[in-house]
Amino acid sequence: MKYLLLVYIDQELLEAVPAEEFDAQMRHCIGQADALQAQGTLLGFNRLEAPAQARTVRTREGRTSVFDGPFAETKEMLAGYNLIEADSLEQAVELARQFPWTRYGSMEVRPVADMDAERVRVGA
């Protein structure tokens, strides 16, 4: 089954990390990602740009609005994702624990819905 590991970062915690330590953690993370990809466990991953560069699009009653940045006001911002293949939610959680970013925010582990089954269900 596929799981999305959503990386949320508390920017204040991350900014307190010395640049050399951050770079070492990023190298470790990239190396770990490369190893997981080689095993077929990690299907894709990316780091997101800063929330200030984001736009939120919302349509209500036929009118579309575009807002600067993320819409939700929260201390932790979505910073990236990892798409993985795991045998269980527990295994996906264990993989999430191995990434250093849980020290500076959190990682949400969410099962990915089977869109082929959904396609059949709705007749698309």
CATH number at residue 25: 3.30.70.1060
- What integer pLDDT is reported at residue 70 of this predicted model? 67
Q: What is the rounded average pLDDT for all residues in the chain?
A: 91
Amino acid, single-letter form, for residue 21 = E
Buried b or exposed e, range 13-44, using 16+ CB within 10 angstroms: ebeeeeeeeeeebeeebeebbeebeeeebbee
Question: Does the pLDDT at position 64 exceed 90?
Answer: yes
- What integer pLDDT is reported at residue 69 of this predicted model? 75
- CA–CA separation, 115 and 36 (whole Å): 24
For the stretch 25-54, pLDDT in tens is: 999 999 999 999 999 999 999 999 888 888
Q: Which two tokens stand for residue 12?
A: 């204040």
Q: What's the total number of domains in the chain?
A: 1
For the stretch 82-96, pLDDT in tens is: 999 999 999 999 999
Determine the structural domain holding residue 46 and report its residue range.
2-122
Amino acid, single-letter form, for residue 38 = A
How does strand 63-68 pair with strand 76-85? unpaired
Q: Which two tokens stand for residue 18?
A: 């010395």
